[in-house]
Amino acid sequence: MSILNSFYSIFDKKLLEYSLSSDYGLFYNDLNFFHFELYFILSIITFLIFFVILSNKKNYRSYYLNVGQIFANLLPFTIILLIVILNNNTTDSYYLFAGFYYNDIAIVFFKNIILLGFLVFILAIKQYVLYFKHYDFEFILILFISLFSSILILNSNDLISLFFIVELQSLTFYILVASKQTSSFSTESGLKYFILGCFSSGIILFGISLIYGFTGLLSYTDLTLFLSEAQISGFIIDSKFISFSGFLIGFLLLTVGFLFKLGSVPFHMWMPDVYEGSPLLFTAYLSTLPKISLMFVIFKLYYCVFFEVFVFSQVLFTLTALFSIILGSVAAIYQIKLKRMLTYSMITNTGYLLFGLSLGDVSGIYVTLFYLISYIFIMIGLFFCFLSLRDRSTGLLIKRINLFSNLLEINPFLSFSIFILLFSIAGIPPLLGFYSKLFLFLFSLKYKMYWLTILFVIFSVISVFYYIRLVKLMYFNRANGWVFFSDIPFLNSLVISFITIINGLFFFNPNLLFKFIYNFSFYFYI
């Protein structure tokens, strides 16, 4: 035993010397700064063990619905505990695990936004479990793992760790899309998403391999220093830097892979079918919270790591933004199904996000971040409204927009909330969505993009048509047969009311959000 003890003491001493002599060494006390993630993993494992035991008891059918309800009731307390643990650590920026993990105050802020957004989504999850008995605890657990991957992706500081976390997130998405066991359409959507998602993952991995092959670097920090020290003109002219062309190909492939994940044109083929086939709750989740983490990664990569070569992706961002706005605005007009119309609306808004990103300086971060927050906020309110439109007789959510007829007489409060939120996302003043588009157009004029601004204004006006069509159906159409909807839960009504009021009264004091986002945008640019 003395020999073993002496060996362990020598090993610990050598490990400490290595840790102290390396900037990003694998410190043996890394786990002391990894509390939040450890509690998250332990909560996932605990839930898995507990509910597997509970769901395998005798008289299984009597426990079938209760297991999901117990899980949905425990989730709010778990999320609140995680928020407390997250904000308990006030340590400044630090690297862990040989530089693969990075954390700072800005990342903690984005984690808080995602956790608070998921806390709101739990209200919808509880109602979903009530109406669909074939959903057990597994889909809630997978949703919880998806939340973990969306949070962990923010701490990635290496292209390989980024790829693995994105794949973990994508794997949960494939399962959630195909989770409706009674629908062959949902299974088909999950299969399409899986095949095309694997294709996009292959493109990202190929781009990462080319970047590593021609630079020998994968860390964000190393790549930033490498590109900042290099003279780009020297790379292109001097023959000894001919390998820069290979690096550029890998960089563009990485960009294409992320554009596929965002669902911008022409990489949007999977979105309409996948979002239509997936349950509305998961469509709402996939189109909101994961976009926050994905846009954070894109900000960090293109404004911090690859900013020296941003000009090569700027044209790609501008073109795909233009095509996304044109196709999304026109295609949504012809849709008669609610989820397909919302999907093309998401494609249009993705185009606006990419256009703001293509500006290439702190103004681009500012307008894109402001547009992203406004879009997520409005879409959460809209999806909560649509999740409340459940047929009282069948318990099913509405699928076609013609069922919005007579909604004014059935539920005036809900119809008014949908009216405000639709006009907000369409950009009608003085609502929140108007300011997000206004700033985007003003900054594009500042950079003398006159023709692009004119085109975007034209198609923004065209996109108003399919939003107004829903308003017309609610307020002016009268259907022969009436569809009676279930009562809206009290907490869901609070969420809808709060989001509607904020959208309507935002113009009274918009400077609070403006100043905060403007100051925060320097984090990525500096």
Q: How is residue 501 written in tokens? A: 């009021």
Look at the alpha carbons of 476, 481, 487, 491 in this order and tell me if their dihedral is positive or negative.
Answer: negative
Q: How is residue 242 written in tokens? A: 């001919």
CA angle centred on 464, ends 461 and 469, rounded to 5°:
145
Q: What does the pLDDT read at residue 309?
A: 83
Alpha carbon distance 150, 137 (integer Å)? 20
Q: Cβ neighbours of residue 170 under 8 Å, at least 6 residues apart?
A: 197, 201, 261
Q: DSSP string covering 451-477, please? A: HHHHHHHHHHHHHHHHHHHHHHHHHT-
Q: DSSP string covering 224-276, please? A: HHHHHHS-HHHHHHSGGGTTHHHHHHHHHHHHHHHHHHHT-TTS-THHHHHHH
Q: Which of 285, 269, 257, 255 is nearest to 357 (CA)?
A: 255
User: 219 pairs with which residues across the strands?
Assistant: 158
Q: How is residue 271 written in tokens? A: 């979105």
Alpha carbon distance 224, 466 (integer Å)? 44
Q: What does the pLDDT read at residue 148?
A: 92
Q: What does the pLDDT read at residue 421?
A: 92
Q: What is the dihedral of CA 217, 219, 220, 226, to 10 degrees?
A: -30
Q: Cβ neighbours of residue 451 under 8 Å, at least 6 residues apart?
A: none
Residue 148, helix vs strand vs coil: helix
Q: What does the pLDDT read at residue 135?
A: 56
Q: What does the pLDDT read at residue 66?
A: 63
The owner of tokens 């070569």 is: 309
Q: Which of 149, 154, 157, 155 is nearest to 173 (CA)?
A: 149
Could you tell me the end-to-end alpha-carbon distance of the chain, in angstroms, rounded to an integer?
Answer: 54
Q: What does the pLDDT read at residue 378?
A: 92
Model confidence, pTM: 0.88
Phi, psi dihedrals of residue 503, rounded to the nearest 5°: -65, -40
Chunked into runs of 10 residues, the chain (526 residues) has average pLDDT values of: 38 42 52 82 88 66 60 86 82 77 85 90 79 69 90 90 90 86 77 88 91 86 80 46 72 91 86 86 88 89 85 87 91 88 91 88 84 90 88 78 82 89 89 88 84 88 88 80 76 88 85 78 66
Q: Is 174 exposed, middle or buried (0-12, 13-18, 19+ CB in 10 A)?
A: buried
